[in-house]
Copies of this chain bind each other. A is one copy, B any other.
Amino acid sequence: MVKKVLLLSGVVLMWTITSAQDNSDAMFIKKIHDYALTDSKCHEWLRQLTTEAGQRLAGSQTYDVAELLAVEFMEEVGLENIQKQACEVNVWKRGIRETAYIIDKKGLKKYLHVTSLGNTIGTGVEGLQAEVVEVKTLEEVDKMPDNALAGKIVFFNRPMDPTQLRTFNAYGGAVDQRGSGLVSAARKGAAAVLVRSMTLSQDDVPHSGSAVYRDGVKQIPAMGISTNDADLLSELIKSIPNTEVFMRNTCYVDGKNTDHSIIGEIKGSEFPNKVIVVGGHLDAWDMGDGAHDDGSGCVQALEVLNTLKNLGYKPKHTIRCVMFANEENGLAGGRAYGDYAKNSKEEIHVAALESDAGGFIPKEFSFDADASVLEKYMKVVHPWFSLLEPYNLQYETGGSGADINPLKPTKALLIGLRPDSQRYFDFHHTTADTFKAVNKRELQMGAAAMTSLVYLIDKYGLE
């Protein structure tokens, strides 16, 4: 028999599952995991969502298909009060397939792997051609004289830091180029922006994701470029003065539309007005199938309710599954739900758990809450991890999830599932984010981790 030994401060402590809670909790959490790894439906739901809806950007017809499927899945589980919560979204359209190229020494077009950044405008069919200026930081651009970049294509090429063990930290350290590069560049007169893809992988896959214009600053087109082509372009700029790139895309915002977050629940037996939310976001970029981002989170959230129901557990609190609309380019779904929760006279939001970091092997929960209550909650949550440690689940305090963050004023405990992050940015916002990139068991174990925590919150509360 192999026992896991953890070492703290030089003291040997043998880990025992039953150290903090009674054995029935350990047994139920084992049951949850057994169920997830045998009879759960989350992987099959993900297959259906990615096959029938696939890419499902806010305001699109495929998002409408995703709404229909989400309702179907909730009916299949037998949830109560299934409803659609409306929100207004911008309808961003990609237009024609993007093109970008450089002219090589033989006069041939060398095509670059690019993708328009979300929310951006296009060059128009005629395209634009201009000299490329490589920069590494927004600060570098901000310090330049006015009009220093007049008519130029600004190429943001600072890589994500590979030495970050958590790839989200590497992402956080580089993503300002994608989000705000086009504003900094436009202020200095630039015509367009190219941004090195947000990935630690060295490949030909360009990454999209939101870019944000600012009022009063000229809107210019922006594309992501693959890491291989970013390196190539950087080399060329060094060896050939005044290298020019041609860019063509026709993105535009096609007005507004009404999308819906899809909601269903199991009513609480003791505290029906006290709500535990578990969710993911139903929308996805118009690339790949949105399998990791965030089909996985949606089906895992629903699996929490499905598992509890099928194991015969009657929750004391209302357990509510929310599949949020429009996380990727507006957050209208999360904001609408937050407004609802803050204004509700009847309901108290106890906790909200979101999975939006891919369907990978679960590692940690990240806890957040209003500063006035976080410490109190952590004292309650804390001993539960003796029950979760056998499943390699640890915790930290920090952020939670974009869609549930608007719930902070309700003083709910906010929780983000944090799976192992090494592979996430191989897929994030790309054509590679497909169903087959999600491992069934990793997805299932994430769902089991979430179910286990929701069970503990429901059973013991947070007071």
Contacts and interface: CB of A to CB of B under 8 A. Distances in A.
Interface of A: 2-10, 12-13, 15, 19-20, 33-34, 37-38, 162-163, 165, 167, 200-202, 361, 363, 366, 382-383, 385-386, 389, 391-392, 394-398, 420, 422-423, 426, 439-442, 445
A394 B165 contact: no
A7 B37 CA distance: 26
Nearest to A30: B163
Given A5-B394, A7-B389, A423-B442, 16 more contacts: A2-B366, A2-B398, A4-B394, A5-B382, A6-B6, A7-B386, A10-B20, A12-B382, A33-B163, A34-B163, A162-B441, A165-B445, A200-B441, A422-B441, A422-B442, A423-B439
A162 to B, nearest CB: 5
9 contacts: A2-B397, A3-B396, A7-B385, A8-B13, A9-B386, A33-B165, A165-B391, A165-B445, A422-B439
A163 B37 contact: yes
B386 A10 contact: yes
Identical chains in the assembly:
2
B162 A395 contact: no
Contacts of A398: 2
A197 to B, nearest CB: 15
A392 B200 CA distance: 20
Nearest to A385: B7
Contact of A38 (B2, B163, B382, B445): B163
A10 B396 contact: no
A445 B420 CA distance: 13
Contact of A8 (B8, B420, B442): B8
Top 6 closest A-B pairs, CB basis? A34-B163, A37-B162, A2-B398, A422-B441, A7-B385, A2-B396
Contact of A392 (B7, B163, B363, B385): B363
A10 B383 contact: yes
B2 A10 contact: no
Nearest to A384: B7
B396 A4 contact: yes
A38 B161 CA distance: 9
A396 B1 CA distance: 10
A6 B423 contact: no
Contact of A9 (B9, B19, B382, B426): B19
A67 B389 CA distance: 43
A8 B15 contact: yes
Nearest to A4: B396
Contacts of A2: 366, 396-398
A371 to B, nearest CB: 15
Nearest to A163: B34
Contacts of A33: 163, 165
Contacts of A389: 6-7
A42 to B, nearest CB: 14
A423 B439 CA distance: 7
A451 to B, nearest CB: 15
Contacts of A15: 8
A423 B386 CA distance: 26
A8 B9 contact: no
